[in-house]
Homo-oligomer: A and B are copies of this chain.
């Protein structure tokens, strides 16, 4: 059943404590395959006896292994080895969805058209819905606020909102609050997931005129899909001139 007792834990030279030695030993036994994936770790009580540590400390160590995805704990069952290798995890964190819109403040959105539509052929793919599904569609342009009065368009925007969320309060001609935020406030819901795609796109024709760039300029098309649970509630597309918009992000090593 349970694996054999550990070799005696011996803090290595320097400052290493018994607790550190236990963590190191468990990790190395897991990565070496001595404790294969799927096997159970000794129980917390056993680890306490083997090491002389208190259960508090043992639990903290096992908790760290859990955070690293090496093991998983189940009440009534035990602690199972889940992965042999601690992944280095890089994490991008955002304070709010607004950080997705990197131009969050200092810009202005002007609504041009607004109305209920039924998904046409070309939109079914974008909206992941059957032909004819009803959506609120809002189109407009987002402008940057430059010092001089000549505001430059940052993006040509199209927003789709699922019909059952199609009457958010506060959606006027020049809304100051993002639509997703209006939805959250009006319906008392919270988006649980946002997917984003970034496409390269050449800006031509009407779009070039709207965005005030030469025909054939480079641009980014950003598509975002907002979910509440499994339900797709909002889809936005933004076409950004490359010369005025770079999408940047940072990832931090989140290992410990």
Interface residues of A (CB under 8 A from B): 87-97, 99-100, 190-202, 216-220, 240-242, 245-255
Q: Give Cα A95–Cα B254 distance, bound, in whole angstroms.
A: 10
* Besides the known contacts A190-B255, A193-B252, 17 further A-B residue pairs in the complex with CB atoms under 8 A apart: A88-B190, A90-B93, A90-B94, A90-B96, A90-B99, A90-B194, A91-B94, A100-B251, A194-B250, A194-B251, A195-B250, A196-B248, A196-B249, A199-B218, A199-B220, A199-B246, A202-B216
Pairs A-B, 4 closest by C-beta atoms: A200-B242, A200-B218, A198-B247, A200-B220
Report yes or no: B253 in contact with A190, Cβ–Cβ below 8 A.
yes
One of B191, B192, B216, B218 near A219 (C-beta < 8 A): B218
Report yes or no: B92 in contact with A191, Cβ–Cβ below 8 A.
no
Residues of B within 8 A of A242 (CB): 199-201
Q: Give Cα A233–Cα B159 distance, bound, in whole angstroms.
A: 41
Q: How many Å from the CB of A38 to the closest CB on chain B?
A: 19
Report yes or no: B195 in contact with A248, Cβ–Cβ below 8 A.
yes
A interface: dominant SS: strand
Q: Give Cα A242–Cα B199 distance, bound, in whole angstroms.
A: 6
Q: How many Å from the CB of A99 to the closest CB on chain B?
A: 8
Q: How many Å from the CB of A87 to the closest CB on chain B?
A: 5
Residues of B within 8 A of A99 (CB): 90
Report yes or no: B248 in contact with A220, Cβ–Cβ below 8 A.
no
Report yes or no: A250 in contact with B87, Cβ–Cβ below 8 A.
no
One of B202, B246, B253, B254 near A191 (C-beta < 8 A): B253
Report yes or no: B252 in contact with A197, Cβ–Cβ below 8 A.
no
Report yes or no: B200 in contact with A200, Cβ–Cβ below 8 A.
yes
Q: Give Cα A87–Cα B96 distance, bound, in whole angstroms.
A: 6
Nearest neighbor of A91 in chain B, beta-carbon distance: B93
Nearest neighbor of A100 in chain B, beta-carbon distance: B251
Q: How many Å from the CB of A84 to the closest CB on chain B?
A: 13
